[in-house]
Amino acid sequence: MPIVPKEPTIVKREICLEQPTSDLLDDYARFIESRADHVVNSVLKKTLAKDRDYKRWKSQQVQRETASPATRKAGS
């Protein structure tokens, strides 16, 4: 196992933010002396991972995807 982990895949996306949110993002990035994309990545990973409703929904999606074709057909 390597000592240094593989660099994560970076995907470029374009999003629109409300002006106050954009200002907050830029200000916070300056505060921690980092890039805005790092702040967004960190906040999304930490916040969304704690959303109980999302985790329940995601679990249901995984169960549906791993169900056998006969089970999916019967449940349709």
Q: Is residue 75 part of a domain?
A: no
Hey, what amino acid is at 1?
Answer: M
Q: What is the pLDDT of residues 1-58, one digit of tens each?
A: 889 989 889 999 999 999 999 999 999 999 999 999 999 999 999 999 899 999 999 9
For residue 76, being part of any structural domain is answered with: no
Least confident residue range of 9-13, 31-35, 59-63, 64-68: 64-68
The number of domains in the chain is 1
* Residue 45 is assigned to a structural domain of this protein: yes
Range of the domain at 41: 19-70
Q: What is the DSSP string of the chain?
A: --SSPPPPP---------HHHHHHHHHHHHHTTS-HHHHHHHHHHHHHTT-HHHHHHHHHHHHHHHS-HHHHHHH-
Amino acid 41: pLDDT = 93
4 found inside a domain:
no
3-class SS of residue 21: helix
